[in-house]
Structures are given as C-alpha cells and as structure tokens.
Amino acid sequence: MSISARSSDAALGHDAEGAQLNTLFRRCQRDNDLAAREALVVRFLPLARRLARRYARSSEPFEDLVQVASLALVKAIDRFDPERGNGFPAFAIPTIVGELRRYFRDCAWSVHVPRGAQERALTVQAASDRLTNRSGRVPSVQELAEYLEASPEEIVEGLSAVQAYDTVSLDTPCESSGSEACTIGDTFGSEDERFELVEDDIVVTEAVHTLPDRERRIMRLRYCDGLTQSEIGEREGVSQMQISRLLRRSIGRMQEFAGVEH
C-alpha cells in the first residue's frame, strides 16, 4: 500500500471517529442519552487523568486530582456544542485545567492565603521544580527571579506562601518516638512549673509593702538573708521572743491583705 493510500485511510478513519463522536454528543445533549454520555466519559477519561497528572504533587493525593478532573470532564461534555466545528479536546482542556487550579486555590490550602499569593506560590514552586530537575540542586532566589523575570521580593513572598499549602496537626504522633503518646505539639516546649508562682510573687510583694519599715526589714533579714531569730534580735537590740512575735504579726497582716485565712 502506498503512502498516499495509507494517509487517505487514516483521514477516513479520523472522519469516521469524528462523526461517531458528534453522534454521541447529539444523543447525549438532545436526547439526554445516559449511555452516550457514559461512552463519552470513558472515551475522554484518559485526557482528564493526563491533565491531573500535570498537577500531581506529593502532598495532594493523585486520586483526588483525578476526581476533580473527571467532574470537570463531565461538565465539559454537557456544555460542548459540536455544531461549532471545534474539536472537543480543545474545549475540554481549559475547562479541566480551570477546575484543577480552582481546587488548589480554594480547597487544597491548609491556611487561607490571598488568591494572588496562591498563584504566585504555585508559579514559584513549579519553576523551582523545573530548575531542580534541570540542575540537580535547589535554585537560589536570584535564579528563580531571573527565570520568572520577577523581583527577588516576589520570589521570597511566593516561597513563604508555599509553606501555607501543607500543614501538620500538632496532634500528629512523633515519628522518632514510635509512641502515640508523644505528639508534635509536645515538642514545642512545656508549661513552666514556676508559672503559677508569678501571681503569688506579685501578691507577696504588694503585701510586704503594707508593713512598717521595721517589720519589712525583719522579714527581709529572716526570709531573704536567712538569719535566725536570735541573730535578728541582736541586730535590732531586742530578744528572740520579740522577733518571733513581730514575724507572726507581720505574716498575719500579709495574709489578711491577700485574703488568706490564718
């Protein structure tokens, strides 16, 4: 068979396929033929999967992307008008791609990010992946700026926004511990055991300032400097018994000020 004959047969086959598709679209849209609709979905499902694979990323399940692309394919089938003379793939591809981008913009981000920042982040991430595959290393901010013809500030903003795409719950178990009892949140510090003493310290400080100067001095010598009652008595020129009574009276006043029963 000559080349011209083979080309003629291929053209006839293409025309026959186009006529068959047009028939399916007319049956689907005019007659609401569900069988024709299903046949069209099966025929173009590989196209939807191929477009979904373009947007596949490790943090987003591929099957979720396929579902989004498949639903967009059904919408394209319902809206396509074969009488316009355009091929269905040319009509369906922008519809499917638009739905995939909308999915990333509205549903896939863990933290709300403005639309402009989202689009910039995805552009920067895609460029980073391409340059990494090309050079075998992660590109610098300057290299990304030159590649995208953008300013370094815009690249930094995009890289920062990428971090909001995927987050991890603080309740996620620690991988290194091998125990569900330890979560990521447990690694971000712990409650200070002396935290409750802060309020007590404020109350005691205010209560001490309500005492006369002499009693305040005796309290400092006893509880800050660690002197015994006898040593304080020698300094103050009074007996140890008098110091004991002064301390009890001072503590009573402070408890009364703090509203503590004694």
Please give the residue range of the domain that contains residue 140: 110-190
Residues 94 and 52 in one domain: yes
Can you give the pLDDT at residue 259? 79
Same domain, 137 and 171: yes
Q: Is there a single domain that holds both residue 179 and residue 98?
A: no
Residues 97 and 115 in one domain: no
Residue spans of beta strands (DSSP E) within 140-181: none
Question: Are 63 and 90 part of one and the same domain?
Answer: yes
pLDDT at site 2: 44
Q: Look at residue 237 in the predicted model and tell me its pLDDT.
A: 92
Residue-level pLDDT at 215 = 92
Whether residues 100 and 22 share a domain: the answer is yes
**Do residues 121 and 101 both lie within one domain?**
no
Same domain, 159 and 131: yes
pLDDT in tens, 242-254: 999 999 999 998 8
Number of domains making up the chain: 3
Q: Are residues 147 and 240 in the same domain?
A: no
User: d(Cα 101, Cα 178) in Å, to the nearest integer?
Assistant: 37
Last residue of a domain, one of 58, 77, 106: 106
Last residue of a domain, one of 57, 84, 106: 106
Taking alpha carbons only, the member of 134, 33, 135, 46 closest to residue 96 is: 46
Q: CATH number for the domain including 51?
A: 1.10.1740.10
Of 72, 106, 140, the residue that ends a domain is 106
The CATH number of the domain holding residue 114 is: 1.10.10.10
Q: In terms of Cα–Cα distance, which of 113, 103, 192 is closest to 158?
A: 113
- Give how far the C-alpha of residue 194 lies from the chain's centroid of Cα atoms, to the nearest Å: 33
Let me know whether 94 and 134 are in one domain. no
pLDDT at 20: 80
Q: List pLDDT tens digits, range 49-103.
A: 998 888 776 566 788 889 999 999 999 988 888 777 678 888 899 999 888 877 7
pTM to 2 decimals? 0.42
Q: How high is the pLDDT of residue 165?
A: 58
Task: Give the pLDDT of the chain (262 residues) as one tens digit per residue.
Answer: 444 444 444 343 445 666 788 888 888 877 788 888 899 999 999 999 998 888 776 566 788 889 999 999 999 988 888 777 678 888 899 999 888 877 776 665 555 556 666 677 778 878 888 888 888 888 898 999 999 998 888 888 887 776 665 555 666 676 655 555 677 666 666 666 777 778 788 888 888 888 999 999 999 999 889 999 999 999 999 999 999 999 999 999 888 888 776 5
Tell whether 87 and 115 lie within a shared domain. no
Q: What share of the chain is helix, strand, coil (3-state, %, to 5)?
A: 70, 0, 30
pLDDT at 101: 78
